Amino acid sequence: MDEVFLKDEKETINFGKEFAKRLKGDEVICLLGDLGSGKTTFVKGLAEGLGIREGYQVRSPTFTIVNEYPTQRGRLIHIDLYRVEDFDVEQFVGEGIVVVEWARNLELCDCIIEFLFEGEGRRVVLKFNKKEVRYGLSG
SS (H, E, C) 90-127: HHHCCCCEEEEECCCCHHHCCEEEEEEEECCEEEEEEE
> Could you give the CA distance from residue 98 to residue 89 in angstroms, rounded to a whole number?
9
Considering the entire predicted model, what is its pTM? 0.90
Looking at domain 2-128, which of 3.40.50.300, 3.90.76.10, 3.40.718.10, 3.30.565.10 is its CATH number?
Answer: 3.40.50.300
Contact 110, 31 (CB under 8 A): no
Q: Letter for the amino acid at 20?
A: A
> How confident is the model over 106-129, as pLDDT tens digits?
899 999 999 999 999 999 999 988
Q: What is the pLDDT of residue 29?
A: 97
Q: Letter for the amino acid at 10?
A: K
Closest C-alpha among 40, 35, 31, 34 to residue 9: 40
Mean pLDDT computed over 27-55 = 96
Place 135 in a pLDDT band, splitting at 50, 70 and 90.
low
Percent of the chain with pLDDT over 90: 84
